[in-house]
Structure 1
Amino acid sequence: MKTILLHSVKILFPGSAFYDQTADVLIRDGKIADVSAQISAPGDDTLVIDGHGKIFAPGFFDLNANLGEPGDETKEDLASGSAAAAAGGFTGVATQPATHPPVHSKSEVSYIINKSKGFLTDIYPVGCISFNREGKDLAELYDMSLAGAVAFSDGTKPVGDSGLMSRAMLYVKGFDGLILSYPEDSSIAGKGKMNEGVMSTYLGMKGIPPLAEEVFISRDLFLAEYNDSKIHFSTISSAGSVDLIREAKKKGLKVTCDVAAHHLVLNEEVLEGFDSNYKVKPPLRTSKDSEALLEGLRDGTIDAVVSQHTPHEIEFKDVEFEIAAFGITGLQTVLPLVLKAGLSPALIVEKLSVNPRSILNLPVPALEKGEEANFVLFAPEEEWVLDENTNRSRSSNSPFMGTSLKGKALITGNKGQVFSW
């Protein structure tokens, strides 16, 4: 990393003496060298950047991304996923275990950690709850934790066996592990393709009601209370889910949750054109649900925003809506979407930088002399276009391809490396 001097940036590093102030930041050899009201360039080889109107914050952290490898490298491999993450301002990513083979033993965990060591973006494996994601037997939870798994989930395969989920919550308490629950009652969701309601009736498609999500949130809250265990809900999508978690937090339960960025700004009405790039799971719901999710972010009910990055080859998406795969690529579009949703820069940093790491008991990057420079410099007002030239993912299944987006991660830095546009 070159010596970099950032002039007049707005600092949003929690705990910094310069928090919410405009100052200069000097980065040398990948470390914070100085933070002051005004710093002169130490030499001709210093890269000086005008930071007026730009935010300097801890690098973003994504709690939910699918990076494909091992086994699905044609969708995304660890290198391309890391590149897309860096372009989106992320210096840390928790990668989901829905790979081939699944991440259900220490071998897969070690493979991901060793393969990604040299990347700018830190890759943290999430291990499976159940062996082979089958929902029958517990996977090697403790061994995976020792190998470096930061949490446990079966991805978008909900754990239907209540006894298994209860045992998983109880078991991980022994080593302060965390279960990530994808809440969906498959017997209610059935073969639904979108949100159940007026729009699904109008389009003649089978729907997935919010009830499918809310039933499992209720179940897992009961299990967490019974076992006095932590629980984290991934990608909640309905107003009812927000209410359930809000009440659970008031009761003192150890519950956290996140929401996918696209659920904040999109609703079921965009499906009228049958564009399969809008087909996600949980499905896009109503505008009232989106409003409730935003309110949940503002009042602290929802702890984090995630990308739910789910890349697919063209043959999985350029087909009829009914048979298209669920998911969109999202690592590069999280920032523009949360800005479009109306989140303030301070709230963005809380939901994208601070809380995700706190949920996983990972340290939040600090702005102190001598500390490793783990940061993102982003411009809330800068516009850019997501296209084949700017897309860093191996896949392009995003409804935002070819559109102008406002909000850009200009520079991402970590481990002595820098990505800049």
Structure 2
Amino acid sequence: MSDILISAAKLVLPGHQHDGQIVDMLIENGSIREIAKSITPKGKDVQVVDAKNAVVSAGFFDLNSNFGEPGLETKEDISTGTRAAAAGGFTEVAIHPNTNPALQSRSEVALVVNAAKGNLVNVYPVGSVSKKREGKELAELYDMKTVGAVAFCDGNHSVQQAGLMGRALLYAKGFDGLIISFAEDESIAGGNQMNEGVMSTYLGMKGKPNLAESLMVSRDLFLAEYNEAPIHFTTISTTESLELIKKAKAKGIQVTCDVAAHNLVFTDDEVVTFDSNYKVNPPLRTKKDVKALLKGLRDGTIDAVVSQHTPQEIEFKDVEFHIAKDGIIGFQTVLPFLLRAGLTDEEIVSKLVIGPRAVLKREVPTLTVGEPANLVVFSTTEKWVFNAASNKSKSANSPVMGQELTGKVLAVVNNNQLIENK
């Protein structure tokens, strides 16, 4: 790869000596060679990234995304998934085990790790807690960790048996593993389609109450405390869950959590159109919940924002709302959604760069001279249209497809590779 000059970017990375300053950054052979107010490259073979009025920071990290491989490659494979991730500014992604077969043993985890080698985007498998994600028998967690699993979760299945979840927490603690909880009590949720509230009553649809989530959060917090084990809650969506987690943190329980970007900007009012692209799980909640989530981001209760990238084929989305599959493609819309929600440059970096890596105890790229370049360049003001031409995913299930969005990722650099969004 030719040398890269990132020109006139605002560097945002807490603790960096140039944090908040406008700088040029020269990258040679995949490593940062120089950072200064102005750099004149000596060689001719230099690729210039014009970052005027843009931000440069360490690459985004996604704690919750879904590829289809293995088994569901018609939704998304590793090649298209990493391409979409890069277009969204993510240089590292943790993919959940919603595959067929599930990422439930050494073989599936190793397959993903090996298939993803050589990409700009680092792919980290999240192994399943239970075999086949059925919540009945504990999977071989340690075996999966030895070949690359960074955490364990049953994906979009919540572990219903308290005893199994307790054993998983205790076992994983023994080898510094992390259990991720998708919190939903199925006996309360009832397989219903949207948030329970005024809108579900108006539309005559059975609703999924906040209690289905907060009840499971409460249970898993008790289990984590009892076993003195860390736990991470993914895609928290309710006021009550946040209050429980905030109190648990104050009490000293080892708990972290994240929120999906779309749950910060959309509410259940969107479902009035019966557009199945607004069908997600957890469902879109109320304005009160969205307000609480934004407050939780700012007061530190929520550690990270995730894409919950969930590609679906058209035959699973272009149908009646009640039979449509859950999920939206999220990689490329995380940045625009966070800007729409009112987050600053610093808050975006906190929740997409620093927070996610802290959850998994991974080092944040330092962006210092001599270190490998793992970074994103993004504009908070540039507008672009999310359509078939700009969409890098194999699927197209997004409620903002065809719309003009504000906030664009201009370039990502990692593993001695550069991808620009023209």
TM-score normalised by the chain length of structure 2: 0.99
The equivalent residue for 2:18 is: 18
Are residues 1:267 and 2:252 paired?
A: no
Distance 2:42 2:226 in 1: 59
| Gapped regions of structure 2 (runs ≥ 5) | none
The equivalent residue for 1:392 is: 392
The equivalent residue for 2:96 is: 96
C-alpha deviation, 1:118, in angstroms: 1.1
The equivalent residue for 2:371 is: 371
C-alpha deviation, 1:47, in angstroms: 2.2
Larger displacement relative to structure 2 (247-256 or 360-369): 360-369
**Map of 1:19-38 to 2, 5 A cutoff?**
19-38=19-38
1:41 touches 1:48 (CA, 8 Å); kept in 2? Answer: no
Partner of 2:367, secondary structure, is: coil
The equivalent residue for 2:143 is: 143
Letter in 2 for 1:259: V
Distance 2:45 2:98 in 1: 45
C-alpha deviation, 1:45, in angstroms: 2.1
The equivalent residue for 1:419 is: 419
C-alpha deviation, 1:49, in angstroms: 3.1
Are residues 1:345 and 2:372 paired?
A: no
Partner of 1:104, secondary structure, is: coil
Are residues 1:187 and 2:187 paired?
A: yes
Partner of 1:249, secondary structure, is: helix
Instruction: Give CA-to-partner distance per residue, 1:316-354, whole Å, 9 cap, x none.
Output: 000000100010000110000001100111111110011
1:335 touches 1:408 (CA, 8 Å); kept in 2? Answer: yes
C-alpha deviation, 1:15, in angstroms: 2.9
Distance 1:185 1:271 in 2: 23
The equivalent residue for 2:119 is: 119
The equivalent residue for 2:225 is: 225
C-alpha deviation, 1:43, in angstroms: 2.3
Distance 2:311 2:234 in 1: 18
The equivalent residue for 1:245 is: 245
Distance 1:49 1:144 in 2: 39
The equivalent residue for 1:285 is: 285
C-alpha deviation, 1:51, in angstroms: 2.1
1:374 touches 1:414 (CA, 8 Å); kept in 2? Answer: yes
The equivalent residue for 1:60 is: 60
Letter in 1 for 2:363: P
C-alpha deviation, 1:22, in angstroms: 1.3
C-alpha deviation, 1:46, in angstroms: 1.6
Distance 1:391 1:273 in 2: 23
Instruction: Give CA-to-partner distance per residue, 1:228-258, whole Å, 9 cap, x none.
Output: 1100000000111111111111111100000
Distance 1:131 1:7 in 2: 50
1:191 touches 1:206 (CA, 8 Å); kept in 2? Answer: no
Partner of 1:325, secondary structure, is: coil
Q: Percent identity?
A: 57
C-alpha deviation, 1:44, in angstroms: 2.4
Distance 2:44 2:118 in 1: 29
C-alpha deviation, 1:268, in angstroms: 0.4
Partner of 2:319, secondary structure, is: coil
| Gapped regions of structure 1 (runs ≥ 5) | none
Distance 1:44 1:129 in 2: 52
C-alpha deviation, 1:24, in angstroms: 1.2
C-alpha deviation, 1:52, in angstroms: 2.0
1:357 touches 1:364 (CA, 8 Å); kept in 2? Answer: yes
**Map of 1:45-56 to 2, 5 A cutoff?**
45-56=45-56
**Map of 1:125-164 to 2, 5 A cutoff?**
125-164=125-164
Partner of 1:333, secondary structure, is: helix
